[in-house]
Structure 1
Amino acid sequence: MTDITATELKDRLAQGTAPVIIDVRETWENEESRIEGSRNIPLGELPGKLDDLEDLRDTEVVVHCKGGSRSASAKAFLQQQGFTQVRNLIGGIQGYQQV
């Protein structure tokens, strides 16, 4: 699945059609700034949380971090685990905050 732009995500949030959003930054980063409605699962904890995410295997999920690197790793990991609709937020939360 193709990645998502900050503009598209903001539009979808405004329309009430937002996908599931997972913030893979560390908890302290999430506490400083977050996308409304997102769920914080730090990248290092993601493998241990797979059971909690089982119902999202065929659901659109957007992963994000600060700039896009950690979330690219999270996207690849989730796809390897059989998640079919994972998208990375292009530019991360930094890009999101600039739109």
Structure 2
Amino acid sequence: MADSAAFEAACARLEESGGLDRLVARGTMRLVLKAAGLEPKTATARDLVVAVERLLPAELSARGVPEPQALCASVVSALQSVGEHRATETPEAIFARLGRS
């Protein structure tokens, strides 16, 4: 299964604006999501905004990225244009749909 659109957008912005290569940007975002208890495949833009604001600055500082707060603001800006749907249906949604039929 592919990663969520929000995860892809956040990683793309880290690559473009942060001077990180693809592997480092994606790895950094995966570490942030893991620390937040989220999965890249199901994380929404709202989930990622919270994780980026609270956890990403420390990860970027650890990697020597200059101005981590500005980069985080750029990532949040990119996430605001991403839809809020989940990449997969939750079990609850599937059973609710089955119960209506």
Q: TM-score, normalised by structure 2?
A: 0.32
More strand by percentage:
1
Q: Which of the pair is proportionally richer in helix?
A: 2
Which entry has the higher C-alpha Rg, 1 or 2?
2
